[in-house]
Structure 1
Amino acid sequence: MWHTKGKGHMTQPPFIVFTDLDGTLLDHHDYSWTAAQPALDHLAERGVPVVLASSKTAAEIAPLRAAMGLSACPAIVENGAGILPAHATPDDDAAPYARLRTTLDSLPAPLRKCFTGFGDMTDADVAQITGLAPDSAPLARRRAFSEPGLFDGDEAARKAFIAALTDLGVTARQGGRFLTLSFGGTKADRMEEIAALYGHPRTVALGDAPNDVEMLETADRGFIIANPSGTPLPKLAKEDGMTITRSKNPGPSGWNESILALTFP
């Protein structure tokens, strides 16, 4: 479909698609991408790489990527904190995650107790809170770079929590469901790295949550996918020029609708 060219570089495709998973390419409730299959097939026929970009771990994304037939494409993992190279399998270097957990535990107790991360949960807890199958929850907890979790406190406590982490070099990003902590890196940062591998073709991004905004705004063409289960994103600047548009349908149906109608301004 596409081939390596030189050291780690790829033949330039017509464009690259970067896509969020939960609530975007995957249905918010059952994690199915069936409704997007016609668009995925269309992209495959054109030789367009589809780069999965999610807060999910490499251990979660690798089997999904394979099931979708996208293993020839790199993937952005843990909200942009890392990249899973094409055809690669996840490794178990969790040193950044261990350092992140240590930093989190160093916060004052009143702030720390407001945040329940995946590292504070059991596999069963994660399965219940995410709707994942019991055998998938351990993969979600196999983290290397970041810590998603739930914040249980008022707005003042939330601001104090984020400010304290910022002072310690930790960023906090709100996704469609979880507040995710990391030592930096966004989906947009990784998007630029991956686009360089393919010779900087045009880029398309699809997402539904605040942690997708930089990716949507960086892309040549962006689609905000409707997610009735989440708070709609505020209007973005590039919507006025139709560089960014919104789907009518939610999840993979909206993804399919957007890709099949794709045009560049």
Structure 2
Amino acid sequence: MATPPALVFSDLDGTLLDHHSYGHAPAAPALAALRARGIPLILASSKTAAEIAVLHAELGLGTAPAIVENGAGLWQPGEGSSQDASDYRRIRAALQALPAALRRPFTGFGDLGEKGIAIATGLPPEAARAAARRQHSEPGLWTGDDAGLLAFAAALAPQGITARRGGRFLTLSLGGTKAQMMAQVARRYGAPLTVALGDAPNDAEMIEAADLGVIVRNDHGTPLPPLDGEASGRVLRTALPGPAGWNAAILDFLKQLDRRGGARTDG
């Protein structure tokens, strides 16, 4: 495998995809520029393999893998998706075993069902069905306060279940993190540079672990607090939200890369 000049890792909802429409049209120039330079785009999301496969094909991402279910799994094009949902069943069992007062503020996808997922996300029925096909994680709505969330997460932690806030949902997961999977993929490619973009707290580790981190402006959910790399300029914030901010950040990065002679252009 040839070593590309860089790898770009990106969250989806609220980052590459618009928070409301799930569209990515404003990012088209940057997507084309990455493709022309042979720079792989690695999707990193809480979405399932079934959901990612559709978007991966739509974006024409070729053989690039994708980080799924908040870092709990890695999907490779052509491999299909595993049907092993044992991790998901463990998470659901752990939820059911919690005291009612701790459990009550969390409504997971397993509680919502496909129709409820469609309502909560705005996804069409087929996409909601794909979102329900989980293997390693359980996103859901949290209606409690911060103190309750700390107690909820602490009760699940002994079983290896982590709770991370995304732009829209609180996701419970077993397995790795986005940052750990990013490191694994980067080793596979041997890339000299890693760029990571995200908009929510569950992206913080990945953004801080990259050579260049980009916090995409978040007008709709829990924003990211100041991160360590911001003072040195290793972590940047976009002026625009969603795919428009994503587009501007990637094009700016590519200009800098071109000045250093670190990219090739196909065609």
Same fold (TM over 0.5): yes
* Cα drift, residue 154 of structure 1: 2.8
- For residues 231 and 15 of structure 1, the distance between their equivalents in structure 2, rounded to whole angstroms, comes to 29
Q: State the percentage of identical aligned residues.
A: 56
Q: In the alignment, does 2:102 pair up with 1:102?
A: no
Q: 1:252 to 1:183 in 2, by over 3 A?
A: same
- SS of the aligned residue for 2:163 comes to strand
- SS of the aligned residue for 1:83 comes to strand
Gaps of 5+ in 2: 261-267
The partner residue of 2:166 within 157, 161, 175 is: 175
One-letter identity of the residue aligned with 1:100: I
- SS of the aligned residue for 1:79 comes to helix
Match of residue 210 from structure 1: 201
- For residues 198 and 145 of structure 2, the distance between their equivalents in structure 1, rounded to whole angstroms, comes to 27
Could you give the per-residue CA deviations for residues 191-233 of structure 1, whole angstroms, max 9, x where no partner exists?
0110111114310011000011111101001111112112331
Q: Which stretches of structure 1, 4 residues or longer, exceed 6 Å deviation after superposition?
A: none
* Cα drift, residue 166 of structure 1: 1.1
- For residues 21 and 158 of structure 1, the distance between their equivalents in structure 2, rounded to whole angstroms, comes to 24
- For residues 98 and 120 of structure 2, the distance between their equivalents in structure 1, rounded to whole angstroms, comes to 24
State how 1:92-171 maps to structure 2 within 5 Å. 92-171=83-162
Could you give the per-residue CA deviations for residues 24-64 of structure 1, whole angstroms, max 9, x where no partner exists?
00000100011101101001011000000000000100010
Number of equivalenced pairs:
256
C-alpha root-mean-square deviation of aligned residues, in Å? Answer: 1.4
Moved more, 140-149 or 106-115: 106-115
Moved more, 101-110 or 42-51: 101-110
- Contact 1:207 1:216 (C-alpha < 8 Å) held by counterparts: yes
- For residues 130 and 39 of structure 2, the distance between their equivalents in structure 1, rounded to whole angstroms, comes to 28
Match of residue 83 from structure 1: 74
- Contact 1:71 1:87 (C-alpha < 8 Å) held by counterparts: no
* Cα drift, residue 138 of structure 1: 0.7
**Which structure has the highest helix share of the two?**
2
One-letter identity of the residue aligned with 1:71: G
One-letter identity of the residue aligned with 2:74: I
The partner residue of 1:234 within 225, 232, 238 is: 225
- For residues 167 and 218 of structure 1, the distance between their equivalents in structure 2, rounded to whole angstroms, comes to 25
Match of residue 30 from structure 1: 21
